[in-house]
Chains A and B, each alone.
Chain A
Amino acid sequence: MNCDEATKLMDGYLDGELDPLTSQKIEQHLRDCHKCEQAYEAHTALSHAISRGAPYYKAPNELRQRVHSSLLDTIGAKDIRSAARENQLLVKRPRAERRFVPSEMPWNWLALAAAIILTAVIISSLLPRLKQPGSDQFLATQLIASHVRSLMANHLTDVASSDQHTVKPWLDAKLDFAPAVVDLSGQGFPLIGGRLDYLDNRPVAALVYQRRKHFINLFVWPAAAGDSKKQELVTRQGYHLLHWIDGDFTYWAVSDVNASDLQNFKQAFEEQTARH
């Protein structure tokens, strides 16, 4: 083996990727040729230095969560599609009545009239539902999904702290609004932490509170102009959703605690935020 051949195969030799016979030949050449041996040593040193010197970019924790929730979203998307299919079925039902209509038999005029009335009745009873598939109902679904996901995916909090002065700055830095964060340990609802979430087409803050063994997700985002100051309680899938608007923010508390606990929670929260 000559120097050219040895140089060509040096990287393979260095990486231990050559067959034994070729390796032996190179070894032999390196023993005989001082120049190649020096080159090989320099090359090995460089190679090791690259391995040690080049920084390894570990994945940030947040990415793990991002990947996980985007995988879960692939299921969520399907849910919405199948819900839309059900709505479409409802739309078609009244139209089906018209199939009875075309006929030249005189007695059919009665049937026709009856069919028209029936269709009108069905449409008028269905129309209010169909006209507004209920952005609010969709929001309620989103809220519950988000609550459940936070418990299921081991992603309850991005910032786990019972200290409101830790949670608040963390959220403020990540959102374009500054929600009120209060600890309610004294009232039996200790603050567990905070999390970012995405609801109603915007990033929102999720404050996590505990009630005995249950968790309460309190979603907060700025209220739209013209939102009235009302409150409502929705019960769905065994979850209670308590909604209120207070000052600049709209609040949705979601939990499986009972409704009166949720009311107490809201009261405690409002009292504490008023004090701040």
Chain B
Amino acid sequence: MALPLKAEHASETEDFESRRNIVKFTVFKESDENHAQKAEITSFEDVMLPHLDAAHNLARWLLRNEEDAKDVVQEAYLRAFKSFGGFHGSNGRAWLLTIVRNTSYTLLKKNRAVDLTTTFDEEIHASGDESASPAIIVEHAEDAELVTKAMDELPAEFREILVLRHQEGLSYKEIADIAQIPPGTVMSRLARARAKLREYLAAQIGKE
């Protein structure tokens, strides 16, 4: 890298050692606009950064990959910041999670379109395993590794609704807003997601 610093805007140049060059540059003051933008960032962060864990958790479950999740969360925060002016609601978490969800789906669609559909082949996935009793399933459901495996096999729609309900404790109304489905659909989708998860858990237990 060549490093002769250009002397433009120089108000004063002096050499006082053979190898030392001192160049003074004009002072650029921070503009008022810059200050206003910084204040805007601060107020945005005050409202939105408390939901960083929720944002990361949702993205991580949807994408099943830590690096993708971090990229999506960063992108979602930038998008949220750009449209922050349009946010007048009181539910910052739901608003942010909607953006995280949409950003995640954009990436999912790009990477693997297959993942998005719930109309997957029931025959392949159906374990037909009714042998594991509810008590055994419940016992294993607290095994984080097993639950993660079973959850990760579910379609994105199911992973999403389980995260929003079981981990974020959101109401059906909030879930409907975030997942962009009619409120009446939330209950039936949640029921299907839970049933599917129970089935996969039973299959996982059967494998062991």
List residues of A whose CB falls within 8 A of some B CB. Answer: 8-12, 15, 17, 42-43, 45-47, 49-60, 63-64, 66-68, 70-72, 74-75, 78-79, 128-129, 132, 134, 136-137, 140, 200, 223-224, 227, 230-238, 243, 250, 259
Contact = CB atoms under 8 A, between A and B. Distances in A.
B37 interface: yes
A78 B37 CA distance: 11
B105 interface: no
Contacts of B23: 232, 234-235
Interface stretch (B86-94, B107-115, B117-125, B141-149): B141-149
A43 B194 contact: yes
B5 A15 contact: no
A129 B57 contact: no
Return the 5 tightest CB-CB contacts between A and B, nearest first: A49-B141, A42-B134, A59-B56, A57-B60, A53-B147
B190 interface: yes
B162 A46 contact: no
Mostly helix, strand, loop or mixed at chain B's interface?
Answer: helix
Contacts of B148: 54-55
Interface of B: 1-6, 8, 19-25, 27-28, 33-34, 37-38, 41, 44-45, 49, 52-53, 55-57, 60-61, 69-70, 73-74, 77-78, 81, 134-135, 137-138, 141-144, 146-148, 151, 162-163, 165-167, 171-172, 187-188, 190-191, 194, 197-198
Contacts of A132: 6
Contact of A67 (B27, B52, B141): B52
A46 B137 CA distance: 7
Contacts of B27: 236-238
B94 to A, nearest CB: 16
A71 B45 CA distance: 9
A54 B77 contact: no
Contacts of A43: 194
Contacts of B56: 57-60, 63
Nearest to A13: B187
B73 A50 contact: no
A63 B67 CA distance: 10
Among the interface residues A15, A55, A59, A136, which one has the most CB atoms of the partner chain B within 10 A? A59
B49 to A, nearest CB: 7
22 contacts: A15-B172, A15-B190, A42-B134, A49-B141, A50-B162, A51-B166, A52-B142, A54-B162, A57-B61, A58-B57, A59-B73, A60-B70, A64-B49, A66-B74, A136-B3, A224-B1, A227-B3, A232-B20, A233-B22, A234-B22, A235-B24, A250-B1
A140 B22 CA distance: 14
Given A53-B141, A64-B49, A237-B27, A47 B38 contact: no
Given A15-B172, A49-B141, A132-B6, A232 B187 contact: no
Contact of A75 (B22, B34, B134, B151): B34
Given A46-B141, A71-B77, A234-B5, A57 B194 contact: no
